[in-house]
Amino acid sequence: MTLNLRSQLLPEAATGPDTGMHVHLGPTAGTDTRANRLEIHPGVEPVAPDTYVESWTTRGRARAEHQGPLQLLEYPEVLFASWQGPDHGLRTQTEQAYRDLLGACHARGFGHLARIWNFFGDIHGEEDGLERYQAFCIGRAAALETLAIPQAGMPAATAIGGTQRRLVIYLIATRTPATALENPRQVSAYRYPERYSPKSPTFARATRLDTTDGPLVLLSGTASIVGHESRHPEDVSAQARETLTNLRALHETAGRHLPPPRWLRVYLRRPEDRTRVAAVLAEHFNDYCPGPVVQWAQGDICRRELLLEIEGVHA
C-alpha cells in the first residue's frame, strides 16, 4: 500500500513573542487545522530574515491523545507523535521519552518508524561525567534495548542543541515498511567507534517511503563526516561542500531518477556563516530550477568541530 504523506516548508510571518522555529504535524488543507494538529516548538531559533513552518500532512480523520509529556495524532496511515519535557537528567529523560514514544507506536499498530527529530539544550555540556550528547545516546540505546529494537532498524534522524533547556522529540511512524538508506561515503552511525560515545548514535542516513505522489526520501541531519571522522574543522565553506557531497551520494543511493530536494534546513552553529554557506548551496544547485526551499536555523551540532548540519526531503 502506498502512503499518503506530504512535506513542505511554508512561509509564515513571524508574529507574537514566540517566533522560534516551529513544526505543524497534521491535517491537509481545508480541514480543521487546530483541533487536530500537533504544533512543535523545538527550541531552535531561525536565522533572519526568513521564517518557515515545517509542515507534514496526510489524509483521513485524526484521533488526538495527550498523555502527560506524550502527544499523539493518529491517522489511518500515519502516526505523528511528540514528547516534550525537561532535559535535566538527560540520560533518564531520553530513555523514558523513547520508551513512551515507541511503545505508543507499537501499541497502535504503527510498527515502522519513518523519521525522528531530537532537540535539547547545552548539547556539549557535562552531565554525570559525560558530554550531554553522549548521555542522550546512552538513554536512547537503553530504550531500544528494552524494547528489543535493532539499531539497524532505526530511521533517519536529527539531534541538535537548542536554546531551551527542554527535551523535544517528534516522530513519524507508519503501518507500512520504510527503507533505511546508508551512505557509501560514511560508516553507519550505529557502528561508530566507542571514542565518540559509549553507546553509538542510532539512526539511518536517510529513509525512503513510497507515497501516492511518488518516492519520498527523508534525509537525516548530515554533516562534514567521511567514514566516521569530521573533515575541514573551522572551514565552514569546505564543510558545506563536503556535506553536499554526502547528500549527493545519498541521492544516488536512493535513486538518481529522483528529483532534487524539495526543501533543506541548514543548522548553523554560527549565524554569521549564513552568507558563505548560501553561496556554496547556490553553486551546488545552480543546474536545478527551481532549487530547494532552504530554511536557516541556529543550532549546536553533535560534535564541537562541526559548524553546520543539513537535513531535508526529496519529493
30-64 pLDDT, tens per residue?
Answer: 455 566 789 999 999 999 887 899 999 999 999 99
Is the pLDDT at 298 greater than 50? The verdict is yes
* pLDDT(16) > 80: no
- Beta-bridge partners for 112: 174
The stretch 283-297 carries a mean pLDDT of 91
Whether 157 maps to a domain, the answer reads yes
Nearest to 101 by CA among 70, 146, 78, 56: 70
70-74/63-67 β-pairing: antiparallel
Q: 158, 220 in Cβ contact below 8 A? A: yes
Q: Cβ contacts of residue 255 below 8 Å, gap of 6+?
A: 215
Give the C-alpha distances (Å, rounded to integers) separating 311 from 46, 106, 124, 264.
15, 26, 21, 6
| 61 domain-assigned | yes
Confidence of residue 21 (pLDDT cuts 50, 70, 90): confident
Q: Residue 198 falls within a domain, yes or no?
A: yes
Number of domains in the chain: 1
Give the structural domain span for 80.
6-314
Residue 205 has pLDDT above 50, yes or no: yes
Supply the pLDDT for residue 178. Answer: 93
Distance CA 270, CA 47 (A): 10
**CA angle, 45 as apex, 284 and 27 as ends, to 5°?**
85
CATH number at residue 150: 3.30.1330.40
Please classify residue 269 by burial: count the beta carbons closer than 10 Å to its beta carbon, then call 0-12 exposed, 13-18 middle and 19+ buried. middle
Residue 63 lies in a domain: yes
Active-site residue set: 309
Mean pLDDT, residues 89-98: 98
pLDDT average, residue stretch 76-87: 97
Please check the confidence at residue 161 and state whether its pLDDT lies above 80.
yes
Is residue 1 domain-resident? no
Residues found in the chain: 315
> Is residue 15 pLDDT above 50, yes or no?
no
Q: Is residue 206 part of a domain?
A: yes
Between 244 and 12, residue with greater pLDDT? 244
For 194, the 3-state DSSP assignment is coil
Distance CA 111, CA 117 (A): 18
Report whether pLDDT(136) > 70: yes
Residue 219 lies in a domain: yes
Query: What cell does 7 get?
Result: 512535506
